[in-house]
Amino acid sequence: MKTARNITVMLLSMLTALTMWGNHPWLTRVFEYRPAPGQFINTMPLCRVGEPVDSVLARCRASICGYIDTVTVTFHGQTITRIDTVWAESMISLGGYGGYVIVGFDHPVVNMHTYDFEIQGNAFVSDRETHGGSSEPGIVMVGVDMDGDGVPSDGDRWYELAGSEYNHPRTQHDYSITYYRPDENKPRTPSQVDPFLNDTTYIRWTSNDADPDSTSGYMSRNTYHNQPYWPLWLQDEPTMTFKGSKLRCNAVDLGDADGQSYYVQYFFDWGYVDNLPNNPAHVSQEDGIYNPGFKIDWAVDEQGRHVNLTHIDFIKVYNAMNQYCGWMGETSTEIAAGIDFHPDAPMPTFLPEDVNHDGEVTVSDVDAVINVIVTSKKNSSADVNTDGEVTVADVNAIIDYILHH
């Protein structure tokens, strides 16, 4: 009997045969990995004290990025070299709320106005509740390389992909949390009711939660994971602060007949990493239990307004839950892989006046140039008249285009 992984590998081989000379369909780059503390930190991937950041990123790439390998076979006396795309069979954990990773492909992801890409996690369905199981939702941000340097930087623009909970009244869009590095040698405070929690005051955190009863607390340590939960390569940092949107808690303790906790994390409808089980067939299922992927058309700006993006260059995923589930530990988004559904889609051509690359020339392009002038941020697209500098002349060039078209 074929497993979902076998089916994925089979389909991946077919996909490779179709795209073997084109862009790589799987993630190839990890630009930044900054997890929050958590029970799988320093083990997914394995990390060591004082390890250089580049080494940590290399371990992340080995865990979640596909790679290209060549296989030479002899068929009827003829030697044939075949290119295979291989999916690295591992995962990385983002830890508690806010922990994130920034990844990318070896090409921009073009907006085809359908499901454009997928970031896979390890969500699964409970054997007791078909609407939930393990669901640890991560929010997806997409970035556009405005300064053209090929890496995420201050000159780039980021947009949230608004999932099903974006407008929910209990979604907090200005959430901020700070974790405080623990003293690994302090006496532990075991739980009096849960034998699986051996330190209930392990890592302290504070936040600006809208609920006054949730503005501070602790991440517990459990008996299953006794390694340090603070990232070992960040031991010099006394605090870690993360900001973003926070989703409402989705876990309910249904309990077992013998009194043991049985947590079910209920699925959100759509739009989050590690929220629904992976889709082994990589087909667009509008309903059902699988995650069909992500649409670039879901992108919104900081004010929640829809934005038109012709393509994206970077993808950021961060854990959107601050939730602890007893012996199961903190809700922590995991990432296993990522795929572009149409890796060889042609990049759109841009008018020089389309500074923000949204496919149209509007006042927003004027604003983009003015922002570059005021902030001195790099943006190669803002030099509309290609005179080597960004000035009012570029603003005038855009206005002239709008007035005459």
Same-domain pairing of 239 and 367: no
Same-domain pairing of 328 and 373: no
Residue 146: the pLDDT is: 84
Residue 74: the pLDDT is: 76
Q: Does residue 167 fall inside a structural domain?
A: yes
Within a 10 A sphere around the Cβ of 151, how many other Cβ atoms?
A: 14
Residue 257 confidence (pLDDT) above 80? no
Q: Does residue 350 fall inside a structural domain?
A: no
Same-domain pairing of 204 and 311: yes
Same-domain pairing of 335 and 371: no
Q: Does residue 345 fall inside a structural domain?
A: no
Q: Does residue 257 fall inside a structural domain?
A: yes
Confidence band (pLDDT; 50, 70, 90) for 80? confident
Residue 282: the pLDDT is: 55
Q: Does residue 349 fall inside a structural domain?
A: no
Same-domain pairing of 235 and 98: yes
Greater model confidence, 316 or 279: 316
Q: What is the mean pLDDT of residues 109-131?
A: 93
Residue 205: the pLDDT is: 98
Same-domain pairing of 272 and 211: yes
Same-domain pairing of 186 and 323: yes
Provide the mean pLDDT of the chain.
88
Q: What is the mean pLDDT of residues 29-54?
A: 95
Q: What pTM was estimated for this model as a whole?
A: 0.84
Using one digit for the tens of pLDDT, what is the confidence trace for 307-328?
A: 999 999 999 999 999 999 998 9
Residue 84: the pLDDT is: 66
Residue 18 confidence (pLDDT) above 50? no
Q: Does residue 346 fall inside a structural domain?
A: no
Same-domain pairing of 328 and 266: yes
- State which residues form the domain around 36: 4-340
Residue 167: the pLDDT is: 97
Same-domain pairing of 295 and 214: yes
Same-domain pairing of 251 and 398: no
Same-domain pairing of 287 and 391: no
Q: Does residue 299 fall inside a structural domain?
A: yes
Number of domains in the chain: 2
Residue 57: the pLDDT is: 96
Same-domain pairing of 263 and 386: no
Q: Does residue 117 fall inside a structural domain?
A: yes
